[in-house]
């Protein structure tokens, strides 16, 4: 029997990090957006223990400050796209306000480290959300376009097709067919 789940990776990661910090008796003031503020410097031995503990969960400690900032940018964009009130804001303003850097600096660091633009990342993440909404919700494309702050259904469809190679309706038909086949395979 298959059970379909949706994960909130931000919550999962924050919970795992908190548990491991407490297990290793590391004093900290907060965990947020891929950062932990420890109250005292960590010894090399403690740092290695934390690294090993987190690695078991697929969480990597980053040493490079720019690499960390790229992860914070990605997490902030993901957070923005999930928050209905934040979706209507300009990405550049939202990132600058949340991360306390100019957008030009954030954009430069992001493209230098990912060989892609922030705008392209936003498009890819929005298309991922469109896929989820097409599979999980009974929403029309118009409702999805409105929910994700697209200027029009044709704008959404164009980005979706350019990114996936399929129209949203073709993708939806394929996923419905796949879901039907999966459900039928469970019937005796």
Q: Are 113 and 66 in contact (CB under 8 A)?
A: yes
Q: Mean pLDDT throughout 114-120?
A: 95
Closest residue by Cα to residue 127 from 111, 107, 151, 150: 150
User: Whole-angstrom Cα distance, residue 159 to residue 170?
Assistant: 14
* 1 pLDDT above the threshold of 80: no
- Kindly state whether residues 68 and 30 are assigned to the same domain: no
If asked whether residues 49 and 82 sit together in one domain, one would say no
Same domain, 108 and 126: no
Of 116, 133, 155, the residue that ends a domain is: 116
Same domain, residue pair 141 and 93: no
For residue 11, what pLDDT is reported?
82
Find the domain containing 49 and state its range: 8-61
Q: pLDDT (tens digit, 9 = 90+) per residue, 130-156?
A: 999 998 778 889 999 998 889 999 999
Q: What is the tally of structural domains in the chain?
A: 3
- What is the band of 6 on the pLDDT scale with cuts at 50, 70, 90? confident
Share of the chain above pLDDT 70, in %: 94
Look at residues 18, 34, 61 and tell me which one is the last residue of a structural domain. Answer: 61
Would residue 20 count as lying in a domain? yes
1 is a domain residue = no
Q: Is residue 167 part of a domain?
A: yes
pLDDT in tens, 59-77: 887 777 888 899 899 999 9
Question: Which pLDDT band holds residue 31 (cuts at 50, 70, 90)?
Answer: low
Report d(CA 141, CA 157) in Å as an integer.
9
Long-range contacts of 87-92 (CB under 8 A, 24+ apart): 87/147, 87/148, 87/149, 88/149, 91/118, 91/119, 91/122
Q: Is 151 left (phi over 0), alpha (psi -120 to 50) or beta?
A: alpha
Residues 68 and 62 sit within 8 Å (Cβ to Cβ): yes
Average pLDDT, the chain: 87
Whether 82 has a pLDDT exceeding 80, the answer reads yes
Of 11-20, 28-37, 87-96, 114-123, minimum mean pLDDT range: 28-37
pLDDT given for residue 123 in this prediction: 95
């Amino acid at each position: 029997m298959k059970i379909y789940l949706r994960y909130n990776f931000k919550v999962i990661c924050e919970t795992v990090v908190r548990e491991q910090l407490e297990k290793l008796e590391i004093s900290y003031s907060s965990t947020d957006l891929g950062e932990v503020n420890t109250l005292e410097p960590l010894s090399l031995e403690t740092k290695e223990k934390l690294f090993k503990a987190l690695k078991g969960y697929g969480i990597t400690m980053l040493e490079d400050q720019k690499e960390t900032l790229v992860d914070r940018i990605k997490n902030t964009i993901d957070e923005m796209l999930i928050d209905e009130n934040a979706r209507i804001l300009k990405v550049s303003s939202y990132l600058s306000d949340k991360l306390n850097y100019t957008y030009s600096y954030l954009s430069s660091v992001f493209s230098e480290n990912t060989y892609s633009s922030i705008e392209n990342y936003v498009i890819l993440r929005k298309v991922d959300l469109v896929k989820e909404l097409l599979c999980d919700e009974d929403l029309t494309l118009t409702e999805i376009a409105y929910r994700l702050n697209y200027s029009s259904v044709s704008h959404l469809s164009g980005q979706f097709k350019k990114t996936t190679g399929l129209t949203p309706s073709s993708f939806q038909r394929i996923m419905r067919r796949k879901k039907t086949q999966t459900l039928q395979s469970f019937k005796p």
